[in-house]
Structure 1
Amino acid sequence: MHDLAADTRSNPLLRLGAQPIALTAAALLLLIAGVTSIAIWRAYTGAVPEPDRVVASRQLQARTAQASEQLVEKTKGLEATQQESIDQLQVVQDQLQTMKRLMAAQQADTKRLSEQVASLNESIDGLRQSFASARSTEVETPSVTRRKPARHRVHASARKRSRG
């Protein structure tokens, strides 16, 4: 058969496996030593991470709430500014519509007056032409001596008699 003692000499792990109580006791001692050293280190430095984490978490929550409130206030301010801008834009659009209506009315008046001026110019040109044609007709006809009306002739002949 196989010699168990020869196997344990050649493989040290088999030797440890043969004494599981000693191995478990050593692991337990290392674990207790580690926990004790951590407890001593925390007691010595005064650092307790859990309360620090709670305080940091609360500070973070407070900052988040404050930032959220600031965002809400800024959003309300932006909404108010946007509404004011919309109102001002509406006023400008109303003024623009009024100006367009006034401009259209002014253009209609200008067109009407322009047509009246053109009509007057045509009338003046017509009068000039008829005046010019009347003058040219007068120049073309030989001048006829005008006779004085009969009563002037009568008075003129009476004067001649009285002088003579």
Structure 2
Amino acid sequence: MIDLAPQDSQSRSGVGVQPIAIGAAALVLVLFGFGSIGLWRAFGNPPESDRVVAARQLQARTAQMSEALAEKTKGLEVTQQESIDQLQAMQDDVQTMRRQIAAQQADTKKLSDQVTALTEAVESLRQSFASSQASEQPTADPSPRKRSRTAHRKRGGSRS
């Protein structure tokens, strides 16, 4: 008979220890790898952190541009409101001038009508005066020949 027990204990102890040591070493290596990766991401400069920094810079620039755009928009609103106020004032002035022009045109028409009426009155007075002189002239006036002699004598020239 063969004694198997002592060999089994040696082979068991040699084989049993070896897989546990390999497993433990593999576990330590895996943990060391995960730890290295974690430390590298936390304290290293991976490309992803450059992207994050670039994104933050882009956000900051966008915020600055938005603020500048908002300020310019407010400035434009103020300028636009001033322009609207000036336009309304000008429209009021134009309306006032239109009213004044209409009043002046009415006054001009009234004065024109009055001048026409006065002209007609003066013309009728002239015609009346001319007709009254024409009716009085043959009886009251001396003949034209006599008048010219008397007018000539009054000037200082006499005919003999």
The two structures have a TM-score, normalised by structure 1, of 0.57
Find 1:75's aligned residue among 65, 73, 78. 73
- Aligned-residue sequence identity (percent) comes to 66
Q: Which amino acid aligns with 1:96?
A: V
CA distance in 2, matches of 1:142, 1:47: 136
CA distance in 2, matches of 1:129, 1:102: 40
Equivalence for 1:132: 130
Structure 1 unpaired stretches of 5+: 1-38, 40-45, 145-164
| CA pair 92-142 structure 1, distance change in 2 beyond 3 A | closer
| 1:65-104 alignment runs, 5 A limit | 65-104=63-102
Equivalence for 1:109: 107
| CA pair 64-143 structure 1, distance change in 2 beyond 3 A | closer
CA distance in 1, matches of 2:47, 2:107: 88
Deviations 1:105-147 (A, max 9, x none): 1111111111111111011001110111111111233669xxx
1:122 and 2:115 correspond: no
Find 1:59's aligned residue among 49, 57, 70. 57
CA distance in 2, matches of 1:142, 1:94: 70
Structure 2 unpaired stretches of 5+: 1-36, 38-43, 143-160
| CA pair 74-142 structure 1, distance change in 2 beyond 3 A | closer
Q: CA deviation at 1:52?
A: 1.1
- Say how many residue pairs are matched: 100
Q: Name the Cα RMSD after superposition.
A: 2.0
